[in-house]
Structure 1
Amino acid sequence: MAVADAELLVEVAGPVATVVIHNPARRNAMTPAMWRRLPGVLDQLEADPAVRALVLTGADGTFCAGADLGDLDELLDAGDASIAVTAEERLAAFAKPTIAAIRGACVGGGCQLAVACDLRLAADDARFGVPPARLGLVYPAPTTRRLARLVGPSTAKALLFTAELIDSGRALRVGLVDEVLPATALSARVGEVTAAVTVRSRLSVMAAKEIVDERADDDRIAWWHGQVRTSGEAREGVAAANERRPARFPWSPPEARPGEAVGAG
Protein backbone atom coordinates (compact mmCIF):
# COMPACT_ATOMS: atom_id res chain seq x y z
CA MET A 1 0.00 0.00 0.00
CA ALA A 2 1.39 3.38 -0.96
CA VAL A 3 1.86 5.87 1.86
CA ALA A 4 2.62 9.56 2.00
CA ASP A 5 6.27 10.49 2.43
CA ALA A 6 5.57 12.06 5.83
CA GLU A 7 2.93 10.20 7.80
CA LEU A 8 2.11 8.33 10.98
CA LEU A 9 1.39 4.71 10.15
CA VAL A 10 -0.83 2.74 12.51
CA GLU A 11 -1.08 -1.02 12.79
CA VAL A 12 -3.07 -3.01 15.32
CA ALA A 13 -2.08 -6.65 15.79
CA GLY A 14 -4.03 -8.37 18.54
CA PRO A 15 -3.76 -6.29 21.72
CA VAL A 16 -0.79 -4.20 20.53
CA ALA A 17 -0.99 -1.04 18.45
CA THR A 18 2.14 0.19 16.68
CA VAL A 19 2.53 3.78 15.53
CA VAL A 20 5.37 4.26 13.04
CA ILE A 21 6.93 7.66 12.42
CA HIS A 22 7.41 7.64 8.64
CA ASN A 23 9.27 10.48 6.96
CA PRO A 24 12.29 8.76 5.39
CA ALA A 25 13.37 11.77 3.33
CA ARG A 26 13.99 13.68 6.60
CA ARG A 27 15.14 10.76 8.79
CA ASN A 28 11.61 10.60 10.23
CA ALA A 29 11.50 14.21 11.39
CA MET A 30 8.04 15.11 12.71
CA THR A 31 6.27 17.58 10.43
CA PRO A 32 3.61 19.99 11.70
CA ALA A 33 0.93 17.78 10.16
CA MET A 34 2.30 14.73 11.98
CA TRP A 35 2.38 16.58 15.32
CA ARG A 36 -1.23 17.65 14.80
CA ARG A 37 -2.37 14.16 13.86
CA LEU A 38 -0.78 12.30 16.76
CA PRO A 39 -3.30 13.28 19.49
CA GLY A 40 -6.22 12.08 17.34
CA VAL A 41 -4.47 8.79 16.63
CA LEU A 42 -3.92 8.31 20.35
CA ASP A 43 -7.56 9.15 21.12
CA GLN A 44 -8.71 6.41 18.73
CA LEU A 45 -6.30 3.80 20.06
CA GLU A 46 -7.06 4.61 23.68
CA ALA A 47 -10.80 4.19 23.03
CA ASP A 48 -10.27 0.82 21.27
CA PRO A 49 -10.98 -1.88 23.87
CA ALA A 50 -8.89 -4.40 21.93
CA VAL A 51 -5.72 -2.30 22.32
CA ARG A 52 -3.86 -2.94 25.57
CA ALA A 53 -0.41 -1.51 24.76
CA LEU A 54 1.15 0.93 22.31
CA VAL A 55 4.54 0.76 20.60
CA LEU A 56 6.00 3.93 19.07
CA THR A 57 8.83 3.46 16.59
CA GLY A 58 10.34 4.88 13.41
CA ALA A 59 10.62 3.60 9.87
CA ASP A 60 13.76 2.36 8.12
CA GLY A 61 16.08 2.01 11.11
CA THR A 62 15.66 5.54 12.49
CA PHE A 63 13.39 6.54 15.36
CA CYS A 64 13.05 10.28 14.74
CA ALA A 65 15.80 12.77 13.96
CA GLY A 66 13.89 15.76 15.28
CA ALA A 67 11.11 18.13 14.36
CA ASP A 68 10.52 19.97 11.13
CA LEU A 69 10.54 23.45 12.64
CA GLY A 70 8.26 24.84 9.94
CA ASP A 71 7.35 28.49 10.44
CA LEU A 72 9.88 29.80 12.98
CA ASP A 73 7.75 32.80 13.95
CA GLU A 74 4.79 30.50 14.64
CA LEU A 75 7.03 28.26 16.75
CA LEU A 76 8.39 31.17 18.77
CA ASP A 77 4.94 32.64 19.34
CA ALA A 78 3.53 29.29 20.52
CA GLY A 79 6.08 28.66 23.29
CA ASP A 80 4.85 25.90 25.58
CA ALA A 81 1.54 25.83 23.70
CA SER A 82 3.17 24.40 20.58
CA ILE A 83 1.68 21.51 18.64
CA ALA A 84 4.70 19.40 19.64
CA VAL A 85 4.05 19.91 23.35
CA THR A 86 0.34 19.18 22.85
CA ALA A 87 1.22 15.89 21.15
CA GLU A 88 3.83 15.03 23.77
CA GLU A 89 1.40 15.68 26.63
CA ARG A 90 -1.26 13.52 24.97
CA LEU A 91 1.24 10.69 24.59
CA ALA A 92 2.31 10.99 28.22
CA ALA A 93 -1.34 10.89 29.31
CA PHE A 94 -2.20 7.82 27.19
CA ALA A 95 -3.96 5.53 29.65
CA LYS A 96 -2.39 2.28 28.45
CA PRO A 97 1.29 1.25 28.56
CA THR A 98 3.51 2.84 25.92
CA ILE A 99 6.88 1.59 24.71
CA ALA A 100 9.33 3.44 22.48
CA ALA A 101 11.31 1.05 20.26
CA ILE A 102 14.34 3.10 19.27
CA ARG A 103 16.82 2.55 16.46
CA GLY A 104 19.23 5.08 15.06
CA ALA A 105 18.69 8.77 15.71
CA CYS A 106 16.42 9.81 18.57
CA VAL A 107 17.04 13.54 18.66
CA GLY A 108 15.08 16.67 19.52
CA GLY A 109 11.41 15.98 18.88
CA GLY A 110 12.20 12.27 18.70
CA CYS A 111 13.72 12.33 22.17
CA GLN A 112 10.73 14.38 23.31
CA LEU A 113 8.36 11.61 22.18
CA ALA A 114 10.51 8.80 23.55
CA VAL A 115 10.70 10.38 27.00
CA ALA A 116 6.89 10.74 27.00
CA CYS A 117 6.56 6.95 26.70
CA ASP A 118 6.48 4.66 29.73
CA LEU A 119 9.37 2.45 28.64
CA ARG A 120 12.21 2.89 26.17
CA LEU A 121 13.96 -0.08 24.56
CA ALA A 122 16.88 0.84 22.32
CA ALA A 123 19.06 -0.84 19.74
CA ASP A 124 22.79 -0.56 20.31
CA ASP A 125 23.05 1.79 17.31
CA ALA A 126 20.69 4.36 18.85
CA ARG A 127 21.88 7.91 19.44
CA PHE A 128 20.18 10.53 21.60
CA GLY A 129 20.36 14.30 21.78
CA VAL A 130 18.48 17.39 22.94
CA PRO A 131 19.60 20.23 20.64
CA PRO A 132 17.75 23.48 21.53
CA ALA A 133 20.97 25.13 22.76
CA ARG A 134 22.40 24.72 19.26
CA LEU A 135 19.39 26.56 17.84
CA GLY A 136 18.90 29.31 20.40
CA LEU A 137 15.55 27.86 21.53
CA VAL A 138 14.14 27.28 25.01
CA TYR A 139 13.13 23.65 25.49
CA PRO A 140 9.47 23.59 26.59
CA ALA A 141 8.98 23.57 30.34
CA PRO A 142 6.81 20.39 30.43
CA THR A 143 9.37 18.61 28.28
CA THR A 144 12.31 19.81 30.37
CA ARG A 145 10.66 18.73 33.61
CA ARG A 146 9.78 15.31 32.21
CA LEU A 147 13.38 14.79 31.08
CA ALA A 148 14.72 15.86 34.49
CA ARG A 149 12.36 13.49 36.32
CA LEU A 150 13.60 10.64 34.15
CA VAL A 151 17.37 11.16 34.21
CA GLY A 152 17.85 13.55 37.14
CA PRO A 153 18.63 17.28 37.14
CA SER A 154 22.37 17.00 36.52
CA THR A 155 22.11 14.73 33.49
CA ALA A 156 19.21 16.76 32.11
CA LYS A 157 21.35 19.89 32.38
CA ALA A 158 24.28 18.18 30.68
CA LEU A 159 22.08 17.10 27.77
CA LEU A 160 20.47 20.53 27.49
CA PHE A 161 23.60 22.63 28.01
CA THR A 162 25.88 20.74 25.61
CA ALA A 163 23.36 19.55 23.00
CA GLU A 164 25.76 16.63 22.48
CA LEU A 165 24.71 13.29 21.09
CA ILE A 166 25.13 10.34 23.45
CA ASP A 167 25.28 6.68 22.53
CA SER A 168 22.99 3.92 23.75
CA GLY A 169 25.43 2.76 26.42
CA ARG A 170 25.49 6.13 28.11
CA ALA A 171 21.74 6.50 27.67
CA LEU A 172 21.32 3.24 29.59
CA ARG A 173 23.71 4.32 32.36
CA VAL A 174 21.90 7.61 32.96
CA GLY A 175 18.43 6.08 32.83
CA LEU A 176 17.30 7.59 29.54
CA VAL A 177 16.52 4.08 28.25
CA ASP A 178 15.55 0.90 30.08
CA GLU A 179 17.28 -1.71 27.93
CA VAL A 180 19.82 -1.79 25.09
CA LEU A 181 19.88 -4.71 22.69
CA PRO A 182 21.52 -5.67 19.41
CA ALA A 183 19.52 -4.12 16.57
CA THR A 184 18.55 -7.58 15.35
CA ALA A 185 17.08 -8.47 18.74
CA LEU A 186 15.09 -5.29 19.42
CA SER A 187 11.82 -6.32 17.75
CA ALA A 188 11.75 -9.66 19.53
CA ARG A 189 12.38 -8.04 22.91
CA VAL A 190 9.65 -5.46 22.31
CA GLY A 191 7.35 -8.37 21.49
CA GLU A 192 8.29 -10.10 24.75
CA VAL A 193 7.60 -7.00 26.82
CA THR A 194 4.27 -6.24 25.16
CA ALA A 195 3.25 -9.89 25.50
CA ALA A 196 3.96 -9.76 29.24
CA VAL A 197 2.16 -6.46 29.73
CA THR A 198 -0.95 -7.37 27.76
CA VAL A 199 -1.73 -10.53 29.77
CA ARG A 200 -1.52 -8.74 33.11
CA SER A 201 -4.43 -7.11 34.88
CA ARG A 202 -5.40 -4.00 32.96
CA LEU A 203 -6.76 -2.57 36.19
CA SER A 204 -3.41 -3.03 37.96
CA VAL A 205 -1.35 -1.72 35.05
CA MET A 206 -3.46 1.35 34.32
CA ALA A 207 -3.74 2.27 38.01
CA ALA A 208 0.01 1.89 38.45
CA LYS A 209 0.69 4.15 35.48
CA GLU A 210 -1.54 6.91 36.82
CA ILE A 211 -0.06 6.70 40.31
CA VAL A 212 3.59 6.60 39.18
CA ASP A 213 2.94 9.56 36.87
CA GLU A 214 1.29 11.43 39.77
CA ARG A 215 -1.94 11.85 37.80
CA ALA A 216 -4.17 10.25 40.47
CA ASP A 217 -5.40 12.29 43.44
CA ASP A 218 -6.79 10.69 46.61
CA ASP A 219 -10.30 10.37 45.18
CA ARG A 220 -8.98 8.74 42.04
CA ILE A 221 -6.87 6.26 44.03
CA ALA A 222 -9.95 5.41 46.11
CA TRP A 223 -11.83 4.82 42.84
CA TRP A 224 -9.15 2.38 41.70
CA HIS A 225 -9.35 0.46 44.98
CA GLY A 226 -13.12 0.36 44.57
CA GLN A 227 -12.65 -1.18 41.13
CA VAL A 228 -10.54 -3.93 42.71
CA ARG A 229 -13.27 -4.68 45.24
CA THR A 230 -16.12 -4.83 42.72
CA SER A 231 -14.46 -6.29 39.62
CA GLY A 232 -13.40 -9.74 40.84
CA GLU A 233 -9.94 -8.99 39.48
CA ALA A 234 -8.04 -9.87 42.65
CA ARG A 235 -10.09 -13.02 43.27
CA GLU A 236 -9.27 -14.27 39.79
CA GLY A 237 -5.58 -13.40 40.17
CA VAL A 238 -5.26 -15.26 43.48
CA ALA A 239 -7.24 -18.25 42.20
CA ALA A 240 -5.06 -18.47 39.09
CA ALA A 241 -1.89 -18.34 41.18
CA ASN A 242 -3.17 -21.09 43.51
CA GLU A 243 -4.27 -23.25 40.60
CA ARG A 244 -1.04 -22.62 38.65
CA ARG A 245 -2.84 -21.43 35.52
CA PRO A 246 -2.90 -18.21 33.51
CA ALA A 247 -5.26 -15.62 34.95
CA ARG A 248 -8.32 -14.51 33.00
CA PHE A 249 -8.71 -11.01 34.32
CA PRO A 250 -12.28 -9.74 33.82
CA TRP A 251 -11.94 -5.96 34.20
CA SER A 252 -12.36 -3.66 31.24
CA PRO A 253 -11.96 0.13 31.47
CA PRO A 254 -15.13 2.19 31.21
CA GLU A 255 -15.53 4.20 28.04
CA ALA A 256 -13.97 7.64 28.09
CA ARG A 257 -14.32 10.79 26.07
CA PRO A 258 -11.49 11.48 23.57
CA GLY A 259 -8.51 12.95 25.39
CA GLU A 260 -9.75 11.72 28.77
CA ALA A 261 -7.98 8.84 30.47
CA VAL A 262 -9.72 5.53 29.85
CA GLY A 263 -11.17 4.40 33.14
CA ALA A 264 -11.79 7.90 34.43
CA GLY A 265 -14.72 7.87 36.73
Structure 2
Amino acid sequence: MDPQLQHSVAESVATVVISHPEKRNAMTAAMWRALPPLLGELADDPAVRVLVLTGEGGTFCAGADISTLRGSPQEAQGLAVRAEEALAAFPKPTLAAIGGHCVGGGAQLAAACDLRFAEEGALFGVTPAKLGIVYPSSSTRRLVSLVGPATAKYLLFSGELIDAERALRTGLVDEVLPAGGLGKRVAEFARVLVSRSQLTQAAAKEFADGRTDRDAHWAAQARASGDTAEGVAAFLERRQPRFGWSVPTSG
Protein backbone atom coordinates (compact mmCIF):
# COMPACT_ATOMS: atom_id res chain seq x y z
CA MET A 1 0.00 0.00 0.00
CA ASP A 2 1.27 3.46 -0.88
CA PRO A 3 2.06 5.86 1.98
CA GLN A 4 -1.10 7.77 2.78
CA LEU A 5 -3.25 9.52 5.34
CA GLN A 6 -6.33 7.47 6.15
CA HIS A 7 -9.31 9.00 7.88
CA SER A 8 -12.70 8.08 9.26
CA VAL A 9 -15.49 9.77 11.21
CA ALA A 10 -17.52 7.95 13.86
CA GLU A 11 -19.59 9.29 16.76
CA SER A 12 -18.41 12.88 16.10
CA VAL A 13 -14.71 11.90 16.27
CA ALA A 14 -12.52 12.17 13.17
CA THR A 15 -9.51 9.85 13.23
CA VAL A 16 -6.58 10.56 10.92
CA VAL A 17 -4.09 7.70 10.63
CA ILE A 18 -0.54 8.20 9.33
CA SER A 19 0.04 5.08 7.24
CA HIS A 20 3.55 4.27 6.04
CA PRO A 21 4.37 1.30 8.26
CA GLU A 22 7.43 0.06 6.39
CA LYS A 23 9.17 3.31 7.40
CA ARG A 24 7.63 3.72 10.86
CA ASN A 25 5.01 6.03 9.37
CA ALA A 26 7.53 8.58 8.11
CA MET A 27 5.78 11.38 6.24
CA THR A 28 6.44 11.69 2.51
CA ALA A 29 6.14 14.99 0.65
CA ALA A 30 2.78 13.86 -0.72
CA MET A 31 1.53 13.13 2.78
CA TRP A 32 2.65 16.54 4.06
CA ARG A 33 0.81 18.14 1.13
CA ALA A 34 -2.33 16.10 1.75
CA LEU A 35 -2.73 17.00 5.42
CA PRO A 36 -3.85 20.67 5.23
CA PRO A 37 -6.72 20.10 2.74
CA LEU A 38 -7.83 17.03 4.68
CA LEU A 39 -7.92 19.06 7.88
CA GLY A 40 -9.90 21.77 6.10
CA GLU A 41 -12.46 19.20 4.99
CA LEU A 42 -12.81 17.78 8.49
CA ALA A 43 -12.98 21.23 10.09
CA ASP A 44 -15.95 22.08 7.87
CA ASP A 45 -17.76 18.83 8.62
CA PRO A 46 -20.46 19.60 11.22
CA ALA A 47 -20.43 15.94 12.26
CA VAL A 48 -16.84 16.33 13.52
CA ARG A 49 -16.36 17.68 17.04
CA VAL A 50 -12.96 16.16 17.91
CA LEU A 51 -9.95 15.05 15.87
CA VAL A 52 -7.56 12.24 16.83
CA LEU A 53 -4.22 11.90 15.03
CA THR A 54 -2.42 8.57 15.28
CA GLY A 55 -0.19 6.18 13.37
CA GLU A 56 -0.67 2.74 11.90
CA GLY A 57 0.77 -0.40 13.44
CA GLY A 58 1.79 0.68 16.91
CA THR A 59 4.00 3.65 16.08
CA PHE A 60 3.06 7.30 15.64
CA CYS A 61 5.48 8.86 13.15
CA ALA A 62 9.25 8.60 12.78
CA GLY A 63 9.51 11.98 11.07
CA ALA A 64 9.95 12.94 7.45
CA ASP A 65 10.88 10.29 4.90
CA ILE A 66 14.56 11.19 4.52
CA SER A 67 14.51 10.27 0.83
CA THR A 68 12.27 13.29 0.29
CA LEU A 69 14.98 15.61 1.65
CA ARG A 70 17.55 14.89 -1.04
CA GLY A 71 16.14 17.24 -3.66
CA SER A 72 15.22 20.34 -1.68
CA PRO A 73 15.42 20.21 2.12
CA GLN A 74 13.98 23.73 2.32
CA GLU A 75 10.91 22.75 0.31
CA ALA A 76 10.39 19.63 2.43
CA GLN A 77 10.65 21.68 5.62
CA GLY A 78 8.18 24.20 4.23
CA LEU A 79 5.67 21.43 3.57
CA ALA A 80 6.07 20.15 7.12
CA VAL A 81 5.58 23.62 8.62
CA ARG A 82 2.43 24.23 6.57
CA ALA A 83 1.01 20.91 7.73
CA GLU A 84 1.96 21.65 11.33
CA GLU A 85 0.35 25.09 11.21
CA ALA A 86 -2.82 23.70 9.65
CA LEU A 87 -3.07 21.20 12.48
CA ALA A 88 -2.45 23.86 15.13
CA ALA A 89 -5.17 26.02 13.55
CA PHE A 90 -7.79 23.24 13.49
CA PRO A 91 -10.76 24.89 15.23
CA LYS A 92 -11.86 21.88 17.29
CA PRO A 93 -10.00 19.87 19.95
CA THR A 94 -7.18 17.72 18.62
CA LEU A 95 -5.52 14.80 20.37
CA ALA A 96 -2.40 12.89 19.33
CA ALA A 97 -2.51 9.18 20.28
CA ILE A 98 1.15 8.17 20.40
CA GLY A 99 2.73 4.75 20.45
CA GLY A 100 6.24 3.77 19.40
CA HIS A 101 8.33 6.47 17.76
CA CYS A 102 7.29 10.14 17.77
CA VAL A 103 10.37 11.73 16.25
CA GLY A 104 11.30 14.70 14.06
CA GLY A 105 8.32 15.65 11.93
CA GLY A 106 6.21 13.32 14.05
CA ALA A 107 7.06 15.38 17.11
CA GLN A 108 6.16 18.51 15.14
CA LEU A 109 2.71 17.11 14.43
CA ALA A 110 2.20 15.90 17.99
CA ALA A 111 3.20 19.29 19.41
CA ALA A 112 0.70 20.98 17.10
CA CYS A 113 -2.16 19.00 18.67
CA ASP A 114 -3.97 20.34 21.71
CA LEU A 115 -3.34 17.21 23.76
CA ARG A 116 -1.00 14.22 23.61
CA PHE A 117 -1.65 10.80 25.12
CA ALA A 118 1.16 8.26 24.91
CA GLU A 119 1.59 4.57 25.56
CA GLU A 120 4.37 3.21 27.75
CA GLY A 121 7.41 2.52 25.61
CA ALA A 122 6.85 5.49 23.31
CA LEU A 123 9.98 7.44 22.34
CA PHE A 124 10.16 11.14 21.55
CA GLY A 125 12.85 13.15 19.79
CA VAL A 126 13.39 16.41 17.95
CA THR A 127 16.25 15.54 15.64
CA PRO A 128 17.25 18.36 13.22
CA ALA A 129 20.74 18.53 14.77
CA LYS A 130 21.40 15.04 13.38
CA LEU A 131 20.83 16.35 9.84
CA GLY A 132 22.18 19.89 10.04
CA ILE A 133 18.69 21.36 9.67
CA VAL A 134 17.63 24.66 11.25
CA TYR A 135 14.42 23.90 13.11
CA PRO A 136 11.71 26.43 12.16
CA SER A 137 11.18 29.30 14.56
CA SER A 138 7.43 28.64 14.81
CA SER A 139 8.05 24.99 15.67
CA THR A 140 10.70 25.96 18.23
CA ARG A 141 8.34 28.40 19.93
CA ARG A 142 5.62 25.78 20.06
CA LEU A 143 8.01 23.27 21.62
CA VAL A 144 9.22 25.82 24.19
CA SER A 145 5.60 26.62 25.12
CA LEU A 146 5.08 22.93 25.96
CA VAL A 147 8.28 21.92 27.72
CA GLY A 148 10.07 25.17 28.59
CA PRO A 149 13.35 26.49 27.18
CA ALA A 150 15.69 24.13 29.03
CA THR A 151 14.06 20.90 27.83
CA ALA A 152 13.53 22.35 24.37
CA LYS A 153 17.26 23.09 24.16
CA TYR A 154 18.10 19.61 25.41
CA LEU A 155 15.99 18.04 22.69
CA LEU A 156 17.10 20.38 19.92
CA PHE A 157 20.80 20.53 20.79
CA SER A 158 21.23 16.77 21.21
CA GLY A 159 18.61 15.09 19.05
CA GLU A 160 18.46 12.44 21.78
CA LEU A 161 15.32 10.40 22.37
CA ILE A 162 13.41 10.54 25.66
CA ASP A 163 10.92 8.00 27.00
CA ALA A 164 7.24 8.54 27.73
CA GLU A 165 7.76 9.03 31.46
CA ARG A 166 10.22 11.87 30.90
CA ALA A 167 7.94 13.34 28.25
CA LEU A 168 5.15 13.35 30.85
CA ARG A 169 7.33 15.04 33.47
CA THR A 170 8.39 17.79 31.07
CA GLY A 171 4.87 18.48 29.77
CA LEU A 172 5.41 17.07 26.29
CA VAL A 173 2.58 14.60 26.88
CA ASP A 174 -0.52 14.82 29.07
CA GLU A 175 -1.10 11.17 29.96
CA VAL A 176 0.88 7.93 29.73
CA LEU A 177 -1.12 4.72 29.44
CA PRO A 178 -0.11 1.12 30.10
CA ALA A 179 0.71 -1.05 27.11
CA GLY A 180 -2.50 -1.91 25.32
CA GLY A 181 -4.50 0.83 27.03
CA LEU A 182 -3.98 3.77 24.68
CA GLY A 183 -6.85 3.15 22.26
CA LYS A 184 -9.45 2.64 24.96
CA ARG A 185 -8.40 5.74 26.90
CA VAL A 186 -8.29 7.95 23.81
CA ALA A 187 -11.76 6.79 22.75
CA GLU A 188 -13.07 7.39 26.27
CA PHE A 189 -11.58 10.88 26.50
CA ALA A 190 -12.74 11.79 22.99
CA ARG A 191 -16.30 10.98 24.08
CA VAL A 192 -15.84 13.34 27.03
CA LEU A 193 -14.72 16.13 24.69
CA VAL A 194 -17.65 15.47 22.34
CA SER A 195 -20.08 15.91 25.24
CA ARG A 196 -18.72 19.32 26.24
CA SER A 197 -19.48 22.81 24.94
CA GLN A 198 -17.86 23.58 21.60
CA LEU A 199 -18.21 27.26 22.49
CA THR A 200 -16.09 26.84 25.62
CA GLN A 201 -13.55 24.71 23.75
CA ALA A 202 -13.18 27.07 20.79
CA ALA A 203 -12.73 30.14 22.98
CA ALA A 204 -10.33 28.35 25.32
CA LYS A 205 -8.28 27.15 22.37
CA GLU A 206 -7.83 30.68 21.06
CA PHE A 207 -7.02 32.12 24.46
CA ALA A 208 -4.57 29.34 25.33
CA ASP A 209 -2.84 29.83 21.99
CA GLY A 210 -2.23 33.49 22.77
CA ARG A 211 -5.10 35.44 21.21
CA THR A 212 -5.67 38.59 23.27
CA ASP A 213 -8.11 40.48 21.05
CA ARG A 214 -11.17 38.22 21.10
CA ASP A 215 -12.78 38.73 24.50
CA ALA A 216 -15.63 40.82 23.09
CA HIS A 217 -16.16 38.35 20.24
CA TRP A 218 -16.51 35.36 22.54
CA ALA A 219 -18.68 37.24 25.03
CA ALA A 220 -21.07 38.05 22.17
CA GLN A 221 -21.01 34.45 21.00
CA ALA A 222 -21.85 33.25 24.51
CA ARG A 223 -24.77 35.68 24.84
CA ALA A 224 -26.21 34.68 21.46
CA SER A 225 -25.71 30.95 21.81
CA GLY A 226 -27.81 30.18 24.86
CA ASP A 227 -25.25 27.55 25.85
CA THR A 228 -24.70 28.98 29.33
CA ALA A 229 -28.41 28.88 30.14
CA GLU A 230 -28.62 25.34 28.79
CA GLY A 231 -25.59 24.22 30.78
CA VAL A 232 -26.96 25.64 34.02
CA ALA A 233 -30.43 24.17 33.39
CA ALA A 234 -28.96 20.76 32.60
CA PHE A 235 -26.89 20.84 35.78
CA LEU A 236 -29.89 21.72 37.94
CA GLU A 237 -32.07 19.12 36.19
CA ARG A 238 -29.33 16.47 36.45
CA ARG A 239 -29.28 15.69 32.74
CA GLN A 240 -26.79 15.90 29.90
CA PRO A 241 -26.71 19.38 28.33
CA ARG A 242 -27.74 19.90 24.71
CA PHE A 243 -25.37 22.64 23.63
CA GLY A 244 -26.34 24.36 20.40
CA TRP A 245 -23.27 26.39 19.39
CA SER A 246 -20.99 24.84 16.78
CA VAL A 247 -17.80 25.93 15.06
CA PRO A 248 -18.69 27.93 11.92
CA THR A 249 -17.60 26.48 8.61
CA SER A 250 -15.21 28.35 6.35
CA GLY A 251 -17.60 28.28 3.40
Q: Residue type of the partner of 1:244?
A: R
Residue 187 (structure 1) shift: 0.7
Q: Say whether 1:252 aligns with 2:232.
A: no
| Aligned equivalent of 2:2, options 5, 11, 20 | 5
Provide, for residues 6-28 of structure 1, a one-character-per-residue CA deviation record: whole Å limited to 9, x for no partner: 00000111200000000011110
2:23 aligned partner, one-letter code: R
CA offset digits 1:93-116 (Å, max 9, x no partner): 100000000000000010110000
Give 1:38's aligned amino acid.
Answer: L
Number of residue pairs matched?
Answer: 250
Say if 2:159 is the partner of 1:163: yes
Cα-to-partner distance string for 1:103-145 (whole Å, 9 max, x where unaligned): 0000001011000000000000100011111111111111111
Name stretches of at least 5 consecutive residues in structure 1 with no aligned partner: 258-265
| CA RMSD after TM alignment | 1.2
Q: Is the 8 A contact 1:103 1:183 kept in 2?
A: no
Structure 1, 66-75 or 174-183: larger mean CA deviation: 66-75
Question: C-alpha separation between the residues in 2 aligned to 1:79 and 1:207?
Answer: 33
In the aligned structure 2, how far is the partner of 1:62 from the partner of 1:194?
20
Equivalences for 1:42-57 in 2 at 5 Å?
42-57=39-54
Q: Contact between 1:79 and 1:140, CA under 8 Å: does it hold in 2? A: no
Alpha-carbon separation, structure 1, partners of 2:212 and 2:98: 33
- SS of match in other structure, 2:72: helix
Gaps of 5+ in 2: none
Query: TM-score with structure 1 length normalisation?
Result: 0.91
- What SS is found at the alignment partner of 2:38? helix
Q: For the residues of structure 1 that align with 2:76 and 2:32, how far apart are their CA atoms? A: 15
- 1:229 paired residue number: 223
| Secondary structure of 2:191 counterpart | helix
Structure 1 pair 173/227, CA: closer, same or farther in 2 (3 Å)? same
Q: What does 1:44-123 align with in structure 2 at a 5 Å threshold? A: 44-69=41-66, 70-76=68-74, 78=75, 82-123=78-119
Counterpart-to-counterpart distance in 2, 1:245 and 1:29:
45
- Report the counterpart of residue 149 of structure 2 in structure 1: 153
Q: 2:34 aligns with which of 33, 37, 43?
A: 37
The code of the aligned residue for 1:75 comes to P
- Length-normalised TM-score, structure 2: 0.96
AA in 2 matched with 1:111: A
Instruction: Specify the alignment match of 1:191 in structure 2.
Output: 187
Partner of 1:210: 206
The answer for the alignment partner of 1:260 in structure 2 is none
Deviation (angstroms), 1:74: 1.6
1:230 CA drift (Å): 1.2
Contact 2:117/2:182, CA 8 A, preserved across alignment: yes
Deviations along 1:171-192, whole A, 9 cap, x unmatched? Answer: 1111110000112111111011
Q: CA deviation at 1:252?
A: 2.1
* Aligned-pair identity (%): 59
State the distance in 2 between where 1:176 and 1:169 align: 10
Match of 2:134 in 1: 138
